[in-house]
Structure 1
Amino acid sequence: MTNRPADNRDQFRPEGHDNDNFLLTTVVGSYKKPKWLDRARELFEDEDTNFGTEEWEEAKDDAARLITEEHERSGLDVVVDGEMRRKEMVEYFAHRIDGYEFNGRVKVWGHNYFDKPSVVDEVEYGEQWLVDEFEFTDEVASRPVKVPITGPYTLANWTFNEAYEDDEALAYDLAELVNEEIEQLVDAGARYIQIDEPALATTPDDHAIVGECLERIVADIPEEVRIGVHVCYGDYSRIYPEILDYPVDEIDLELTNGNYEQIDVFTDPEFTLDLALGVVDNHTAEVETVKEIKENIKQGFKVVPPEQLTISPDCGLKLLPREIAYQKMENMVQAAREVEAELDAGEIDVPVAGETASADD
Structure 2
Amino acid sequence: MVKSSNIGYPRIGENREWKKALEQYWAGKLEQKTFLKEMETIRLTHLKKQQEKGIDFIPVGDFSFYDHMLDTAAMFGLVPKRFDYKGGEVSLDQYFSIARGSKKAVASEMTKWFNTNYHYIVPEFDGLTPTLVDNRPLRFYQEAKEKLGIQGKPVVIGPITFVKLAKGYEENKWQEVVQQLVPLYAQILQELSLAGAEWVQIEEPILATTIGAEELVLCQTVYQTLKEAAPSLKINVQTYFESIDQYQQVVSLPVDGIGLDFVYDEGANLTSLKKYGFPQEKVLFAGVVDGRNIWRNDLQRTLVLLDEILDVVTKENLVIQASCSLLHVPVTAANEKQLEPVVGEAIAFADEKLTELTLLAKGAAEGKEAISFEIQESTNALTSLQKSSYRNNQDVQYNINHLQTFAAERQAAFPERMAIQESVFQLPILPTTTIGSFPQTQEVRKQRLKWRKGELSQEAYEQYIEQETKKWISIQEELELDVLVHGEFERTDMVEYFGEKLAGFQFTKFAWVQSYGSRCVKPPIIFGDVAFQNPMTVKETVYAKQLTSKPVKGMLTGPITILNWSFVRNDIKRSEVANQIALALRKEVEELVNNGINMIQVDEPAIREGLPLKQQKRETYLQNAVYAFKLATAFVENDTQIHTHMCYADFEDIIDSIEALDVDVISIEMSRSHGELLTSFEENSYDKGIGLGVYDIHSPRIPALEEITRNIDRALQVLEPKLFWINPDCGLKTRGEYETIEALKVMVEAAKETRKKLFAAKV
Per the TM superposition, whether the score is higher than 0.5 is yes
Deviation of 1:347 (Å):
7.5
Q: Indicate how the Cα distance of structure 1 residues 35 and 150 shifts in structure 2: closer, same or farther if over 3 A, else same.
A: same
Match of 1:87 in 2: 492
Which of the pair is proportionally richer in helix? 2
Deviation of 1:190 (Å):
0.9
Deviation of 1:200 (Å):
1.1
Match of 1:126 in 2: 533
Q: Distance in 2 between matches of 1:232 and 1:9?
A: 26
Match of 2:578 in 1: 171
Q: Distance in 2 between matches of 1:306 and 1:235?
A: 24
Deviations 1:277-310 (A, max 9, x none): 2111111222122222111111221332111001
On the 8 A contact 1:94/1:117 being kept in 2, the answer is yes
Q: Does 1:11 align with 2:416?
A: no
On the 8 A contact 1:28/1:312 being kept in 2, the answer is yes
State the AA in 2 paired with 1:106: W
Q: Does 1:288 align with 2:694?
A: no
Match of 1:259 in 2: 674
Deviations 1:71-95 (A, max 9, x none): 2211100011221111101100001
Q: Distance in 2 between matches of 1:4 and 1:169?
A: 28
Q: Does 1:78 align with 2:483?
A: yes
1:164-313 residue pairs with structure 2 within 5 A? 165-204=572-611, 205=618, 206-313=621-728
Deviation of 1:167 (Å):
1.4
On the 8 A contact 1:240/1:266 being kept in 2, the answer is no
Match of 1:158 in 2: 565
Q: Does 1:315 align with 2:749?
A: no
Q: Does 1:65 align with 2:478?
A: no
On the 8 A contact 2:665/2:690 being kept in 1, the answer is yes
TM-score, normalised with respect to structure 1: 0.88
What secondary structure is seen at the aligned counterpart in 1 of 2:756? helix
On the 8 A contact 2:438/2:488 being kept in 1, the answer is yes
Q: Does 1:106 align with 2:507?
A: no
Deviation of 1:201 (Å):
2.5
Deviation of 1:164 (Å):
5.2
Q: Distance in 2 between matches of 1:152 and 1:111?
A: 26
Deviation of 1:135 (Å):
0.8
On the 8 A contact 1:28/1:148 being kept in 2, the answer is no
Q: Indicate how the Cα distance of structure 1 residues 202 and 232 shifts in structure 2: closer, same or farther if over 3 A, else same.
A: same
- Selected match of 1:329 from 733, 740, 744: 744
Deviation of 1:163 (Å):
6.7
**Gaps (5+ residues) in structure 1?**
349-361
Deviation of 1:10 (Å):
4.9
Q: Distance in 2 between matches of 1:319 and 1:111?
A: 11
Q: Distance in 1 between matches of 2:653 and 2:610?
A: 10
Q: Indicate how the Cα distance of structure 1 residues 114 and 288 shifts in structure 2: closer, same or farther if over 3 A, else same.
A: closer
State the AA in 2 paired with 1:96: K
What secondary structure is seen at the aligned counterpart in 2 of 1:199? coil
What secondary structure is seen at the aligned counterpart in 1 of 2:648? coil
- Selected match of 2:447 from 8, 28, 40: 40
Q: Distance in 2 between matches of 1:123 and 1:319?
A: 29
Q: Distance in 2 between matches of 1:343 and 1:219?
A: 33
Q: Does 1:115 align with 2:528?
A: no
State the AA in 1 paired with 2:529: E
Q: Distance in 2 between matches of 1:23 and 1:154?
A: 28
Q: Distance in 1 between matches of 2:656 and 2:739?
A: 35
Deviation of 1:317 (Å):
1.2
Deviation of 1:174 (Å):
1.0
Q: Indicate how the Cα distance of structure 1 residues 124 and 338 shifts in structure 2: closer, same or farther if over 3 A, else same.
A: same
Q: Distance in 2 between matches of 1:347 and 1:291?
A: 22
Between 197-206 and 318-327, report the one with greater CA deviation.
197-206
Q: Distance in 2 between matches of 1:234 and 1:200?
A: 10
Q: Distance in 2 between matches of 1:174 and 1:99?
A: 10
On the 8 A contact 1:288/1:328 being kept in 2, the answer is yes
Deviations 1:103-155 (A, max 9, x none): 44232245554332222221111010111111111112232101221000111
Match of 1:146 in 2: 553
Q: Distance in 1 between matches of 2:423 and 2:725?
A: 12
What secondary structure is seen at the aligned counterpart in 2 of 1:175? helix
What secondary structure is seen at the aligned counterpart in 2 of 1:346? helix
Q: Indicate how the Cα distance of structure 1 residues 26 and 271 shifts in structure 2: closer, same or farther if over 3 A, else same.
A: same
Q: Distance in 1 between matches of 2:747 and 2:691?
A: 13
Deviation of 1:159 (Å):
1.8
State the AA in 2 paired with 1:91: E
Larger Rg: 2
Between 162-171 and 52-61, report the one with greater CA deviation.
162-171
On the 8 A contact 1:64/1:137 being kept in 2, the answer is yes
On the 8 A contact 2:681/2:719 being kept in 1, the answer is no
Q: Distance in 2 between matches of 1:294 and 1:11?
A: 28
What secondary structure is seen at the aligned counterpart in 1 of 2:642? strand
State the AA in 1 paired with 2:496: E
Match of 2:213 in 1: none
**Gaps (5+ residues) in structure 2?**
1-408, 612-617
Higher RCO (CA < 8 A, seq sep 6+): 1
State the AA in 1 paired with 2:645: H
TM-score, normalised with respect to structure 2: 0.43
Match of 2:140 in 1: none
CA-based RMSD: 2.0
